[in-house]
Structure 1
Amino acid sequence: MSGKGVPWAVGILALFVLGFWLAEAGWQIRLVPNRSVPREWTEYKVRQEPVELSSAYELEGGPERTGRGFPQREILDLASEFPGLVFNQGDPKEKKVALTFDDGPDAVTTVQILDILKEHNVKATFFVIGKRAEVDEAVLKRMADEGHVIGNHTWNHPNLMKLDEARIAEEILKVEELVEKVVGYRPKLFRSPYGSLSRENVKQVANLGCYIIAWNVDSLDWKGLSGEQVRTNILENIRNGAIVLQHSAGGPGEDLSGTVAALPVIITTLKKEGYQFVTVPELLNIPYKKD
């Protein structure tokens, strides 16, 4: 090979390696048709505060997050097999959307999300982890005080398919006791960690008097996506009766700044398009408190 050919070969190889790395990282550029980016997109500043995460934030199952790995097809099958018990969407004839946030509360990301929701007068549904809520009871109380609905996301965030019935009951009932102590009611809405559920699990949760809430729009924010990527994942897939999955807290090293950055834009854009933001029980017309 001539001396002139070496730089070209090196350049081609570098481009190939870069392309492979981007593909592995899951970087995709997708355009949202007919949706301009509101001014808030460039103006909203995400606080980057260091957080010392105690052992209370170390969840079972390691780095997995809700929405990861459990096929959407399985969720649809369960919703079809157990109507009135397992829900993944509202009425497709009504232009309503329910924002949901898993894995909180914490004193940083959850607080930023609550600030944005308050600023835009939007109510959401938070599926909380008991182990975290015990640490941040003040944030849990703020959720309820500001009109948001609290749902149950277990105490330790385990995969229910790996637990026996007694342990599942313990994971759910322990959260109920804490939420009742802090906000005055026992949650009737339940979301399984990772979205993972067997048919037997559905029956076990139902025996505890809970509705199972899945989703049909996934932000994939647990991957540490940018605000633009989170925004695109939601807005490209939004529809009437959507239940949107996002996260309001993460594990050590998990970056949810994209969730916070995208939220004002998502709210502003969907309001302009005529969508009404409601809580999950409002969307599904079901109670959220146990008798």
Structure 2
Amino acid sequence: MKKDETTTGRRSLLRLAAALGATAAVGVFATDRLTGPDAPAPEAAPGAAPPAPPQAPPAPGTTGPQARAARLRPAAYRLQPMTGYAPPAFRKAMPPVRTRPFLHLTGVGRSMVLTFDDGPDPRYTPEILAILRRYDCRAMFFVCGEMAVDNQDLLKEMAEDGHVVGNHSWSHPLIPKLRPSRIRQELGTTSDVIEHALGAPPLWYRAPYGAWNKLSFEIGAELGMEPLAWTVDTLDWQVPPTDSIVRRVLNGAGPGVVVLNHDAGGNRSHSVAALKRYLPELLDSGYSITVPRR
């Protein structure tokens, strides 16, 4: 009798082990089943106790990050801000430090870039903006801080029309002759004026007279700006006849060309008159007028 009882007990243990093994195998292959509130209730193993009834969720505030934060009281010094000022606004990562400025744009097809330096000047800039608006064209305006600070309405008009506002220093000095602190002041203060007027700092800058040096590239990059020079100089700063400005632009036209004009710094009536003539000719020749995007 004892031998039969022992044999029966062994058979029961073997059946139980097989059942447990089958249950484990089903668990491995069921990992792709639906989960979450819509998932069907799992089947109980043979002979297993029925599942416990669902419990009510914990009362609000007794668990989760807020409850843990309440239990972990910070030290007293952490309750005070480190400074009395708001954290700085997020800015994009600084661009690479260039060793030379961009002279033209690539990959823009049959497009050109028109740029205007030294402004804004209420005598000439509004008419230039009106001409560009008439032909639905965008341009770049490299402004001087000492002009921009008193004409922020023109900066806003530029931005509203989709033009790019760049940094051309504060007082138009010869950059290579300045100390590092002065270069930083010339560029940084102008960027501050632009950011105050438009809500964002400039992304491009141009050295006065096209005179760059290592420090200007480094400081410009620290301020988040890329350097842009030009391909075609209209020499309008010499106040030549309108015909001369038009001829230089049309003769120098080409894909990716950057044209240098001025909207301040002297008598720019010839620059305005030339724009009226060469802009429609460029468009009729199949060129589009664009601005770089960053």
Same fold per superposition (TM over 0.5): yes
Aligned match for 1:124, one of 130, 139, 157:
139
Measured after TM superposition, the shift of residue 233 of structure 1 is 1.1
Question: Hey, what does 2:287 align to over in structure 1?
Answer: 275
- Residue pair 1:226, 1:257 contacting (<8 A) in 2 also: no
Residue 203 of structure 1 and its aligned partner are, at CA, apart by 2.7
From 218, 237, 259, the equivalent of 1:222 is: 237
Counterparts of residues 190-205 of structure 1 (less than 5 Å): 190-205=205-220
CA-CA distance at 1:128 after TM superposition: 0.3
Whether the 8 Å contact between 1:92 and 1:239 is mirrored in structure 2 is no
- The Cα of 1:92 is off from its aligned counterpart by 6.9
Q: How does 1:94-243 map to 2 (within 5 A)?
A: 94-243=109-258
Give the CA deviation at 1:205: 2.3
Whether the 8 Å CA contact 2:117–2:141 is kept in 1: the answer is: yes
TM-score, with structure 2 as normaliser: 0.64
Q: Is the 8 A contact 1:101 1:246 kept in 2?
A: yes
4+ residue segments displaced more than 3 Å:
none
**5+ unaligned residues in a row in structure 2: which ranges?**
1-96
SS at match of 1:158: coil
- Work out which of the two has the higher radius of gyration on C-alpha atoms and give 1 or 2: 2
The alignment's C-alpha RMSD in Å is 1.7
In structure 1, the gaps of 5 or more residues are: 1-80
Q: 1:172 to 1:82 in 2, by over 3 A?
A: closer
Structure-2 residue corresponding to 1:3 = none
Matched, 1:259 2:267: no
Q: How far, CA to CA, are the matches of 1:204 and 1:147 in structure 2?
A: 27
- Residue 28 of structure 1 is matched in structure 2 by none
The Cα shift of 1:237 comes to 1.1
Choose between structure 1 and 2 for higher RCO, CA contacts under 8 A separated by at least 6 residues: 1
Q: Deviations over 1:119-173 (max 9, x none)?
A: 1111100000010011111111111111111000011111110111111111111
Q: What one-letter code is carried by the residue in structure 1 that aligns with 2:202?
A: P
Mapped partners of 1:157, 1:222: distance in 2:
14
Q: SS of the residue aligned with 2:115?
A: strand
**Matched residue type, 2:225:** C
Shift of 1:232: 0.6
Structure 1 stretch displaced more, 267-276 or 89-98: 89-98
Aligned equivalents of 2:108, 2:203: Cα separation in 1 = 25
Give the secondary-structure state (helix, strand or coil) at the position aligned to 1:100. Answer: strand
How far is the alpha carbon of 1:102 from its aligned partner?
0.2
